[in-house]
Structure 1
């Protein structure tokens, strides 16, 4: 770790920011190795966990801007990882479905992401990794509006 002034290196905000930079690099490299981006993983994981959904619902669940959802879905549909079908209840919107190819791609991305997570948390024991996730979850929940 480079030498930073103690008044920086002793503050959680500084440590979180520095660690986030490394995490972002590792995750980006992992997804790139599989020809994907983070937004694609976010939407595929959301579809897998919650099932078919409207674009608006996917954006809310994935915490994504509507324009990012549309662009990313266009990529996923073109790659055969998702399908759009008209909503029978409202012809103005589409329902997005995960395809079998999308599920297979998600599994590959999970494996790549697991490798990145292991690299990021390499100096921690399994118990410390669990504790880190718990602490970060609490911090995020505290700072996330309902």
Structure 2
């Protein structure tokens, strides 16, 4: 089975390679990285609050879903275990989240927003929406929806 897949991949590479040369500026990963860099720069300049986009994702998800385990929060924010741990550690050090024992399972810790965290989210939500608008500003409404639909298919 693996041999068949390798042959299919090799055949695909040969067909793609025969079409045109590899041009970095035309590669999806390169383009996505540039778009993300633009978005992250907009986020930092508009939102402020000394928040990274990953920290914002954690705060936003906790606001949206309520308290949850660190592991589940990582899954809900597309972060691996070590990344979400670092994010939560930094947010906790700033007093924006707290860890507490799960009343249903004493072995598990829940992460939840503190009052300060809720205040930051309330102040920041409209700014985060503005960042999305600014990121998508070069596109008309139909193009925006098409882009979002296409990106969702790639996840």
2:109 is aligned, of 63, 73, 94, to: 94
Task: State how far apart, in whole Å, the 2-side matches of 1:137 and 1:61 are.
Answer: 15
Task: State how far apart, in whole Å, the 1-side matches of 2:102 and 2:144 are.
Answer: 42
Q: CA deviation at 1:56?
A: 1.2
Residue 82 (str. 1) matches residue 97 (str. 2): yes
Higher Cα radius of gyration = 2
TM-score (ref. length: structure 1): 0.73
Long gaps (5+) in structure 2: 1-20
Counterpart residue number, 2:32: 16
Aligned residues: 135
CA offsets 1:34-93 (integer angstroms, 9 cap, x no match)? 211122111112212222111111112112122222222222223232222112333332
Residue 36 (str. 1) matches residue 54 (str. 2): no
Query: More deviation in 94-103 or 16-25?
Result: 16-25
Residue 120 (str. 1) matches residue 97 (str. 2): no
**Root mean square deviation of aligned Cα:** 2.6
SS of equivalent residue, structure 1 residue 97: strand
TM-score (ref. length: structure 2): 0.70
Are the aligned partners of 2:40 and 2:53 in contact in 1 as well (CA < 8 Å)?
no
Query: More deviation in 79-88 or 48-57?
Result: 79-88
Long gaps (5+) in structure 1: 141-146
Task: State how far apart, in whole Å, the 2-side matches of 1:138 and 1:51 are.
Answer: 27
